[in-house]
A and B are shown apart, each in its own frame.
Chain A
């Protein structure tokens, strides 16, 4: 399972980095989304991968999974969701104002 999770994080990160380096807004936004998925899975794995164990200490339960990374991931998901919404709105605004969705800035005139 470690192999599966690790390679999933790797593929997601590679896709994200490749897309972020594009010159158009839409692939770049997809890239940031991919990166944030990779990060979320990574954070989740930071508490070690444990299967079929409750995320809390209880009497009589010897094996448990670390609940803190799950809380961290939840926060990270909410934040990245909000950020993606903001970046989509700004990209849309830039597209409507300038007429194309290129991400680079042309040489300044004045």
Chain B
């Protein structure tokens, strides 16, 4: 049994209370430990990634209780990939938050950040449905604190909506888990997969209800139509580095759908059949449309970024809803790309806000470092809209290619291509308004300019995710090979099940 599997959960779990308790008066110390812990997490997750890349499914039995009686953590290609994605994003966001001094605008930023990391990595690693719920709550409660970090009436009110939405979601999650347990008598994902296959006919209706409830819960997390409405207000009003870190949180929902609806309620399971695909695809397509219209109509750069996240989640979900290995490969590649792209967009929006005093898409005096920031915005806009030469283009191309054999190909192609065009127009509008429509400074503008910071360090820190976007395109070949292998492993759930339950 490899004890490193639990390290991504235990390390932040120990670090967070230490930071909150011992280092609460010393910002420097908290920063040092937070960064050191996150670097260690990155190293550990690279190690785990190397273990999982061989194709083995490793299982960690908590308390050495055999599944399905004890809780297990499972490390396969998918969970290793998601953990590595989380920790590397976290390191970049953390460094940005420190150099832009966002972390000193309130209290306990680093403790909350580490708790968030614990919840996200735990959710990716766990092999137990109820444990997944617990990790969801851990990451949510940390995200509530981060969401309202720094305070302000607008932020608190948006935070309240976000919390209420997620409380309702958690209740639904518990109802789904209760139903699943009542029908099958287990909550271990691998055991559940076996039980659902052998389900007596009279219980089929119940398990279908439970599966649909689960999908709604994960759709809330992934911000899918019709439960997407919390996302734009939340992300647009959250502190920008936090919004950048939240880019991984929507992917938790995508991951959970991918995990449950391939391993447990896969397309070949007679009880649920193609139910998931039938509902996911239209929901995902409408999400793309809403996101693209939002990008076109946004009045603030942060709202624009939030709606861009919606579009990218819609695209990911379209790919997932096809439930074929090729489409899952495209979805995974696009998940990696869109996480970094969304994070980069929020960080650039924060640079604009810091140098200009506000992030409104309207006329304003020229800001400091306008040329450099506009260049960064241009690169990120290309990435988010999915234009060549960056990875977003490749990701969308893979999704479109996977859709060729789908019966709804016409719809998928039309929506994705038209929405890309709308996004390009939206970004061009925002970019030209912000960087080209310069007006003479008057008194209110001078007041805004005074609040603007002039440090160059945040600009450098924001370049990290942008550099990753370039690397994703350069190493597109090896990366797609890995996501291909991940997708194939995902669609042979026998490996996962036999690894967890022992050879049967």
Which A positions have Cβ atoms within 8 angstroms of B? Answer: 16, 20, 25, 28-29, 32, 35-36, 38-39, 42-43, 45-48, 68-69, 72, 75-76, 79-80, 82-83, 86-87, 90-91, 93-94, 97-98, 103, 105, 108-110
Contact = CB atoms under 8 A, between A and B. Distances in A.
B235 interface: no
B137 interface: yes
Given A97-B151, A110-B362, A20 B168 contact: yes
Interface stretch (B4-12, B38-46, B170-178, B260-268): B170-178
Nearest to A98: B153
B473 interface: no
Given A32-B167, A69-B181, A86-B144, A39 B160 contact: no
B412 interface: no
A110 B157 contact: no
Contacts of A103: 157, 160-161, 164
6 contacts: A39-B174, A46-B178, A46-B181, A72-B177, A76-B174, A105-B233
Nearest to A108: B299
A42 B175 contact: yes
Nearest to A34: B171
Nearest to B183: A46
Contacts of B144: 86, 90
A16 B170 CA distance: 14
B157 A28 contact: no
Contacts of A109: 299
Given A69-B181, A76-B174, A97-B152, A87 B358 contact: no
B154 A82 contact: no
Contacts of B177: 43, 72
Contacts of A29: 164
B179 A90 contact: no
B142 to A, nearest CB: 10
Given A35-B168, A110-B299, A110-B362, A93 B151 contact: yes
Contacts, number: 107
A83 B156 contact: no
Interface string B119-154: 000000000001000100100110011001001111
Contact of A86 (B141, B158, B233, B303): B141
Contacts of B170: 79-80, 83
A39 B178 contact: yes
A91 B160 CA distance: 6
A20 B179 contact: no
B24 interface: no
Contacts of A42: 174-175, 178
Contacts of A47: 181-182
